[in-house]
Amino acid sequence: MKILAIETSCDDTGIAILEVSEKTEEFSVLSNIVSSQIEVHKKYGGVYPAMAKREHQRNLVPVLIRALKQAKLLNPKSEIRNPKQIPKSKIQKLNSILERESELAKKLVPFLQKHKKPKIDLIAVTNGPGLEPCLWVGVNFAKALSYFWNIPIVPTNHIESHILVNFLPTRPGLVGFPAVCLVVSGGHTQLILMEKIGNYKILGETRDDAAGECFDKCAKILGLGYPGGPIISQLATKFLGCPTPQKLPRPMINTKNYDFSFSGLKTAVLYANRKVENKTKRYKQEIASEIQQAIIDVLIKKTMKAAKDFKAKTIILGGGVTANKELRKQLTEKIEREIPNARYLIPNTQLSTDNALMVAVAGYFKAEQNKFMRWQDIEANANLRVE
Ligand code: KG4
Ligand code: ZN
């Protein structure tokens, strides 16, 4: 079975093709293309939904072509069909599905007229949570493909995809449940109890900013650029583990629940930064190290609390912030020291940040559970929650 997956929930346009062996259920990645919009959003220090939507509309067809070519699924020239063979009503229907995505339609309709259906068995698309206009571009694109090629479709939850990407190299049968999952990204910070694939309960989440958002906003305050996570973690390397003169708060670190709050940390950075006149390189390195450690301390404390309270057999990490080397290292050490019998799964760093391969993996498990939907019924939902 070959799965074509689409991810457009924020500022990355991703398309991946995953093959799943019918016999062994083994996964092989045929392609995984991510077109990042960092260059577009960098000058504003954050993502503007309208601009991100426009970029997705521009990028989706070129990214699809690259993904199909890499997977050797784009039909050779000899197979190019005569556009006149396609009934007018079918093109009309296609245009009506893409009514709100006119820039995308201009590229997708000619592409579909020109190329024969590739050997794809399932389409998976992120329908939430995320930025609503961005989600809709991906969803309408997926609906158009599902309709035109007559391929079944499953909608997938972005948070669940960040969790399930860990099952690309590791069979779920080898993992003990319950698992406690920490999903930390630019838009979300959640601790989730997972009883099995497809069964989740949100234990706690951020009451204001997400951890990745905190990295991004602190970087903006310090004039460091976007996205803040990788820049701050790079700067922080110089003073890792050293006490720094800038002491920042660890909001909610000792509360009895599993919730987070990061906006106070950002405000503390704002005030601390105002007091410093000469913002030397050393100052920036020191404060970067303290920001990173403050975020890591809270994430680790709450994750370990949840893992112990719920007697987790496995701890699963996902989301862009888990690309952070120190978080990976410190959490790993803590788990090995304090709950040595627990397993932990962390995606490799390229799969921590947004990509469509995670959507393909989630799509596979959804299909296994028969969670197909008629393309007509699929809607984007910016506030979709795992359940
Ligand atoms: O999962 P993701 O790619 O997109 C969302 O779903 O939001 O996460 C992006 C977030 C950004 O806030 C970015 O600053 C953060 O992940 N990030 C990092 C690192 N790499 C990306 N944060 C800390 N350290 C990193 N190395
Ligand atoms: Zn994400």
Q: Quote the pLDDT of residue 38.
A: 84
Q: Tell me, using a 6 A CB cutoff, whether residue 186 lines ligand 1.
A: yes
Q: How many CB atoms lie within 10 A of CB 93?
A: 14
Tokens 């007018």 — which residue?
88
In a domain, 385, yes or no: no
pLDDT at 79: 61
**Whose Cα sits closest to atom 6 in ligand 1?**
185
For residue 185, what pLDDT is reported? 97
Q: For the chain, where are the alpha helices, taking DSSP H only?
A: 38-42, 49-70, 88-97, 102-114, 132-149, 158-164, 211-221, 228-236, 263-275, 281-309, 325-338, 349-352, 357-368
- Output helix, strand, coil percentages for the chain, rounded to the nearest 5: 50, 20, 35
Do 16 and 97 fall within a single domain?
A: yes
CA separation, residue 323 to residues 146, 331, 336 (Å): 33, 12, 19
Q: Is residue 43 part of a domain?
A: yes
Is 136 found in the same domain as 194? no
Q: Ligand 1 pocket, 216 CB below 6 A? A: yes
Backbone angles phi, psi at 292, to 5 degrees: -60, -45
d(CA 264, CA 17): 41
Of the candidates 114, 104, 107, the one whose C-alpha atom is nearest the C-alpha of residue 139 is 104
> Which numbered atom of ligand 1 lies nearest the CA of 353?
3
Residue 317 lies in a domain: yes
Tell me, using a 6 A CB cutoff, whether residue 10 lines ligand 1: yes
Q: Which residues of the chain have pLDDT under 70?
A: 76-81
Are 12 and 146 in the same domain? Answer: yes
Q: Answer whether residue 167 is part of any domain.
A: no
CA-185 nearest atom, ligand 1 = 8
Å from CA of 185 to ligand 1 middle: 5
281 in the same domain as 366: no
Residue 221 shares a structural domain with residue 115 = no
Q: What is the pLDDT of residue 41?
A: 84
User: Does residue 11 sit in the same domain as residue 135?
Assistant: yes
Is residue 212 in contact with ligand 1, taking CB distance under 6 Å?
A: yes
Q: Is 72 helix (H, G, I), strand (E, B) or coil?
A: coil
- 50 and 69 both lie in a single domain: yes
Ligand 1 atom with least separation from CA of 162? 1
**Residue ID of nearest Cα to ligand 1 atom 8:** 320
- For residue 350, the CA-to-ligand 1 centroid distance in Å is 11
| Count of helix runs (H) and strand runs (E) in the chain | 13, 10
3-state secondary structure of 166: helix
SS3 156: strand
- pLDDT at res. 243: 84
> Hey, which residues does 200 pair with through a beta bridge?
194
Give the residue numbers spanning the domain of 260: 172-346
Asked if the structure places residue 361 within a domain, the reply is: yes
How far is ligand 2, taken at its centre, from the CA of residue 96, in Å? 29
In a domain, 384, yes or no: no
209: tokens are 């900013």
Same-domain check for residues 222 and 299: yes
Residues 256 and 359 in one domain: no
Q: Are residues 321 and 368 in the same domain?
A: no
Is 368 found in the same domain as 332? Answer: no
pLDDT of amino acid 201: 98
268 lines ligand 1 (CB under 6 A): no
DSSP-derived secondary structure letter, 172: G
Residue 233 CB less than 6 A away from ligand 1: yes
CATH number of the domain bearing residue 141? 3.30.420.40
Residues 87 and 149 placed together within one structural domain of the fold? yes
**Ligand nearest to C-alpha 131:** 1
Distance 160 CA to ligand 2 centre (A): 10
**CA-based max dimension of the chain:** 72
Count of structural domains, the chain: 2
